[in-house]
Each structure stands twice: as structure tokens, then as C-alpha cells.
Amino acid sequence: MEELILIGSWCQHFYRSYFEGQRYTPTIRTRDMDFLVPVPLQIKKKVDVEALLRNEGFVVSFSGGSGYMKLMHPDLILEFLVPERGKGTDKPYPLPQLSMNAQPLRFLDYLLQNIICIEAEGLKVNVPHPAAFALHKLIVSDRRTKEEKLLKDRKEAFAILTALVKKGDTVEIKNMFGKMPARWKKRVIDVLKKTENVEIIEILK
């Protein structure tokens, strides 16, 4: 399971270690814990994730008409995602190595290319670099149809960008921005202009 990357809001819990000494106190209000799976998945031994977690109280649930698999628990919902490439598809991506399937989503390749390992609470966890996470959130927010999720994405992104600036990591913000395709950069700048975030715009110039 070392190949999996934690993405989504739960990354913020582990970013507290990255921002140790900084004023960064995220509030996580979701049970959803998303794992990004690099494809093709390179693991030597097959792992039956559902069987592995069954004794911990997790049960398999199928989402929507497409049949995406989730592992449900009273406290957590585990879901597996893969980068969507080409024309895209509504069908689940099979992961026989994990005895699961995954939902393909856009923009995840960017996170996959910008991973760090954080050690916290006795765990080593692969997560996107905080700057990549924040910029990705801004892109995703611009595609949201529900205002509640849009505002949540931007709040999380700006909290991380602010913490990076205070930590002195403005170069990392600019570097992660530089790795984006031109059309993604435009989306990020458009969001920053809409929200009048002049400080970050200046950093990205």
C-alpha cells in the first residue's frame, strides 16, 4: 500500500507536520478519505483491501449506477481514484491488484507528479506537495456547480497558500505553478483575480 497517495481534505491533517511552528489549524469536516492510485499500479503482491479492512468495520458499498466501490465505516469512507486520461469514461477503472475499482477524475496527474512523503503520528504518508494541493484546489473550484463546495475548496487552498508564504515557501508555489499547462495557469489566475488575491498573483508573476 506504499504506492497509494492520500489526496483530498484529509491531506490537511498531515500538512500540520509540514507547517510545524506555523499557524495552520485546518478543520476537517468530512468522512471521505480519498486515495490516488498511480496507474499502472506496480505492486509485487496482490492485496485484498476489502478483506484486509473487514475486521476494522469497513464494508463495501457501490456508488451510483456506474458501480464505483467505496469502503464504508461509521467514521470514514475510503475511495480510490485514478487519473482520467484521453476522452474519459464513466466506467470504474479496475484495480485487480487491490480487489477494488477506482473512479477516474481529471487533473489528478498533476498531483501524482508532485508527491512528498510526510511522517506524522508514527505514519509515513504520501501526499501532494501543499503548493500543488492548493493550486489543484483552485482549478477544481472553478468547475464546481455547488457554491458550498466551491467556497470550501477555495478556503482550503488559500489557507495552505497563506501558510506557505509565512513559511517562506513562495518559490515552491511558483515552481508548482510553473509545472501547469498554460490553460490551467489561466484558470488559477482567473480564480485569484475573482477573489482579489493580489499577494499570490504577484508571487506567480
Could you tell me which of 82, 76, 107 has the C-alpha nearest to residue 4? Answer: 82
Domain ranges of the chain: 1-128, 129-205
Reported as a single tens digit per residue, the pLDDT across 162-188 is 999 999 999 999 999 999 999 999 999
Reported as a single tens digit per residue, the pLDDT across 67-96 is 999 999 999 999 999 999 877 778 899 999
Amino acid identity, position 175: N
Could you tell me which of 81, 107, 96, 94 has the C-alpha nearest to residue 5? Answer: 81
Residue with cell 490553460: 183
How far apart CA 143 and CA 188 sit, in angstroms, is: 12
Q: Report pLDDT for 28.
A: 85
Q: How confident is the model at residue 42 (pLDDT cuts 50, 70, 90)?
A: confident
pTM for the model:
0.93
Q: Report pLDDT for 120.
A: 85
Chain centroid to CA 118: how far?
14
